[in-house]
Amino acid sequence: MPETITITDDRTGKQITVPITDGVFPASAVRELDPSLYIYDPAYMQTAACKSSITYLDGENGILRYRGYPIEQLASKSTYLEVAYLLLNGELPDAAQLAMWKHEVTNHTYIHENMRKRFVDGFHYDAHPMGMFVSSLAALGTFYNDAKDIDDKASRDKQILRLIAKTPTLASMAYRFSAGLPFVYPDNDLSFPGNFLNMMWKIGEYNIDPRLERAMDVLFILHADHEQNCGTTAMRVVGSSHADPYTSAAAAASALYGPLHGGANEAVVRMLTDIGHIDNVPAFIEEVKGGKGSRLMGFGHRVYKNYDPRATIIKKTAYDVFEVTGKNPLLDIALKLEETALSDPYFVDRKLYPNVDFYSGLIYQAMGFPVSMFTVLFAIPRTVGWLAHWQELLADKDQKISRPRQWYTGVEARDYIPMTSR
């Protein structure tokens, strides 16, 4: 017998029994009981707003899989472009498919000259790179008249390809403008991460350290998708109105721009800098436990109630990077903080384990990226996750334009009072 749940309306005695599938039961049960009833669920803590076959996340056991493949295997054996293909198509590419995919992405990395010369040059000289990136994503769609034709698969595929290929170019352009540096054109002979590093720093083909190139690829893989997070939800909500993918991606990037979503690794670096020395870690931990204003950043997660599997991978990647760049001086503080917190029942009992943001900022900083670029670095790979969900949304016949209901708590009906009587 399948699992079921029975809901009773005590007011009327009416009962509804509905199936439970994978721990989920349909909200239609509430509508059947009484169409005027709604479920109050702030931040969608217990609401599944869609079905998805893209990413599986088991927070209790620290499991993350893309299309069934464990993140540990993908990070150690795959490349970002291979993972991007997997997320979009559901299966890993064969050799011919991967070669064609790489070729197509590589040959779409350029952006229109008017985008660079007229649009970007219009930003204020001290504009934040992420603000520029968000705006550029939306503006990019204005260069492609077929972007609105989302019912045509060929058109959708072309826009998806353009977005994945051009986001590193937009990101590096935003940084170099903010730093007062000239634009660096893409180099089609380089790999996806190598091209991005070259556009950032103008390294030259033969001077890109393969260890840093691989580290960038691993970071891109780890950040490619993460189920129904705030940015992905924004992508789906805006996409449900049948907005083009550039507009939808700009909405997703705007959500990521918020410090509670994409700013965590930046906050970790600030925290470690404020701690200043490993000898100050015990006192900092006590301040956190005592609620004296200090917060432990980079620990805990809305979904993970165990060790974030990405954190284990990224910690190893950090050591690979430091072999090239030299050890980030904040690393010793981070290691001491992790050791202290994980041996303290206060944090263990609350299931506060390191997440992916705890070490990623240290890597970015060691590689020379300014703190203002951290969220942009997150957005580059996450774009493919957003697009995979946008594509899945459009194919889901159960989906309609997103329109949550509200719990009205304002005053009841009242009559207008003329100004002379107030």
Task: State the catalytic residues.
Answer: 261, 301, 357
Pairwise CA distance, residues 133 & 257, whole Å: 10
What does the block give as tokens for 61?
Answer: 């056991």
Place of tokens 């939306």: 138
What does the block give as tokens for 262?
Answer: 């994409």
Residue 106 has a CB neighbour count (10 Å cut-off) of: 18
